[in-house]
């Protein structure tokens, strides 16, 4: 088992553990926020974050993912450290300047769209966090390029703990979502300090700033910037439009369901984040080893995503009532629609990384432009006419368009994969769905537990998971022991 597997395992296991802990805490706290604020105030809070997200791409312009890839490629070269220091300095300076521009634009947009003064103030305060993120994002990109995703994950846990503790105190004291925004700022500041310290301990500090390199850097990062722009618009544009056309309460119902979906994307995001720098190096050193890794990861992603989507669709009503209370009943049909975006997001994120690793990020940018343009146009057309149901439907449809484009780009590679395990797992999902449907009138936790137990048993019985996975893990552990012995 090669170094790729060892590094990915370290990043994945530590990352998964940290992210699952963080997301469980975050999920529980988000439920508390939604219940505490109520649909109207939560809708305003979601709109404040939505305005920030739409303009957040300007503060980065693709520099962070570009830096991750370049650091991963440069670090083994003789002059790599010096070039990384120069890259770090230029990216950090550019991002600080871009963050100021982004802050001015987001506040201007809030004023021009006639948002209430209370929201404009919150958006202005939230935009200050973007400046802190400029330092954090530049430094974290370097750390990720060195494949220390375990450190990154731990620092994100610290950030989340600070947000929960300070945000919980703010809610208890009655500061509303203003208190949550301040809590976010404090948590990000703490996380940024830890990330910068970790990068400096690697021996990487900002080198000399050379403004002549900025334009070539921006050109090289442009495809990543387009990806960030279109994704930012695609994922939050509907929230902004809903707030303008449908008001705060409807925005709150929609985002209560939407946040549930994003809480479920944790495993996909952790795995892909761990894989990206490792695969970037492997694409240069031994590209022939990558297709089997792609096949295995795709299989694991669908093993997780499909049963959640099917089960969530069936028990949407009682699940939403359990989490948010009867006051959020209008969120249930929206969740039943949005849950289908989960397997699509699992696929689109991973397939997008695969194309980027191959150095074809321009094609990823093109694909995202197509789907995001469709998202913006469809939301502009249908939200004024059909409201929040249109927003949910458009979200699923445009993610499907993105996945279809990636599949077309990777059709040769996907055509060589073995699909028998995928078919057996799909059969297991169908059988599980029957049980969940038949027990849907029982307490929802009982239904979920029964469905999960049956699904796990079917995967073992059908040999979808089994000896191969055990051998894979044993091989990685053996490689780690050999590496440890080699260092001793």
Residue 290 has pLDDT above 70, yes or no: no
465 Rama sector, left if φ>0, alpha if ψ -120 to 50, beta otherwise: beta
Domain boundaries, the chain: 3-278+314-415
Residue 334 has pLDDT above 90, yes or no: yes
pLDDT digits (tens, 9 = 90+) for 385-431: 999 999 999 999 999 999 999 888 877 777 666 666 678 888 999 99
**pLDDT value at position 359?**
66
Query: What mean pLDDT is reported for the chain?
Result: 81
CA 53 to chain centre: 13
**pLDDT value at position 395?**
92
pLDDT digits (tens, 9 = 90+) for 211-248: 888 888 888 887 777 766 666 666 678 888 898 898 88
pLDDT mean over 311-335: 92
CB under 8 Å to 453, separation ≥6 — which residues?
A: none
Q: Compute the distance between CA of residue 332 and CA of residue 423 in angstroms, rounded to an integer.
A: 30
Q: Compute the distance between CA of residue 268 and CA of residue 300 in angstroms, rounded to an integer.
A: 9
**pLDDT value at position 234?**
67
pLDDT mean over 174-198: 91
Q: Compute the distance between CA of residue 64 and CA of residue 307 in angstroms, rounded to an integer.
A: 33
Residue 310 has pLDDT above 60, yes or no: yes
pTM: 0.73
Q: How many distinct helices (H) and strands (E) make up the chain?
A: 19, 0
Give the confidence band of 464 by pLDDT, cuts at 50, 70, 90.
confident
**pLDDT value at position 232?**
65
- Weakest mean pLDDT among 74-88, 298-312, 321-335, 413-427: 413-427
Q: In 315-443, which ranges are continuous DSSP H helix?
A: 316-324, 331-338, 341-357, 361-386, 388-409, 411-415, 420-438
Residue 481 has pLDDT above 50, yes or no: no
Q: Compute the distance between CA of residue 430 and CA of residue 436 in angstroms, rounded to an integer.
A: 10
pLDDT digits (tens, 9 = 90+) for 270-289: 666 666 666 666 655 666 66
pLDDT digits (tens, 9 = 90+) for 259-273: 888 777 766 766 666
Residue 4 has pLDDT above 60, yes or no: no
Give the confidence band of 160 by pLDDT, cuts at 50, 70, 90.
confident
Give the confidence band of 470 by pLDDT, cuts at 50, 70, 90.
low
């Amino acid at each position: 088992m090669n170094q790729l597997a060892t590094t990915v395992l370290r990043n994945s296991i530590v990352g998964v553990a940290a992210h699952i802990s963080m997301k469980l805490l975050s999920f529980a706290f988000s439920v508390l926020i939604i219940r505490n604020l109520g649909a109207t105030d939560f809708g305003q809070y979601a709109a404040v974050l939505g305005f920030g997200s739409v303009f957040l791409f300007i503060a980065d312009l693709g520099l962070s993912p570009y830096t991750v890839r370049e650091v991963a490629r440069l670090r083994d070269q003789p002059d790599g450290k010096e070039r990384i220091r120069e890259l770090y300095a230029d990216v950090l300076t550019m991002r600080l300047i871009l963050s100021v521009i982004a802050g001015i634009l987001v506040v201007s947009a809030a004023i021009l769209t006639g948002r209430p003064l209370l929201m404009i103030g919150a958006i202005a305060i939230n935009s200050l966090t973007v400046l802190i993120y400029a330092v954090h994002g530049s430094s974290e990109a370097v750390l990720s390029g060195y494949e220390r995703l375990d450190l990154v994950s731990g620092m994100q846990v610290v950030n989340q703990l600070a947000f929960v503790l300070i945000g919980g105190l703010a809610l208890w004291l009655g500061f509303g979502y203003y208190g949550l925004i301040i809590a976010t700022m404090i948590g990000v500041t703490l996380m940024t300090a830890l990330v910068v310290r970790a990068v400096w301990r690697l021996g990487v500090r900002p080198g000399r700033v050379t403004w002549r390199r900025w334009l070539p850097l921006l050109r090289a990062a442009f495809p990543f910037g387009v990806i960030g722009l279109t994704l930012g618009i695609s994922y939050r544009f509907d929230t902004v439009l809903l707030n303008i056309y449908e008001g705060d309460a409807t925005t709150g119902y929609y985002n209560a369901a939407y946040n549930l979906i994003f809480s479920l994307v944790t495993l996909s995001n952790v795995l892909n984040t761990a894989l990206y720098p490792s695969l970037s190096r492997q694409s240069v050193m031994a590209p022939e080893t990558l297709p089997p890794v792609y096949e295995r990861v795709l299989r694991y992603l669908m093993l997780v995503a499909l049963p959640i989507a099917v089960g969530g669709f069936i028990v949407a009503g009682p699940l939403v009532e359990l989490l948010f209370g009867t006051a959020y009943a209008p969120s249930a049909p929206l969740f039943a629609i949005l849950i289908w975006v989960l397997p699509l997001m699992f696929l689109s994120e991973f397939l997008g990384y695969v194309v980027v690793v191959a150095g074809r990020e321009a094609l990823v940018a093109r694909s995202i432009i197509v789907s995001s343009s469709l998202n913006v146009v469809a939301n502009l057309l249908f939200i004024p006419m059909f409201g929040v149901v249109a927003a949910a439907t458009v979200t699923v449809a445009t993610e499907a368009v993105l996945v279809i484009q990636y599949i077309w780009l990777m059709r040769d590679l996907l055509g060589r994969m073995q699909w028998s395990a995928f078919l057996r797992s799909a059969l297991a999902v169908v059988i599980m769905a029957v049980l969940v449907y038949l027990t849907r009138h029982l307490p929802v936790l009982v239904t979920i537990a029964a469905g999960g137990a049956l699904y796990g048993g079917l995967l073992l019985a059908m040999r979808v998971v089994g000896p191969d996975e055990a051998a894979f893990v044993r091989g990685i552990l053996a490689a780690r022991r050999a590496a440890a012995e080699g260092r001793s």
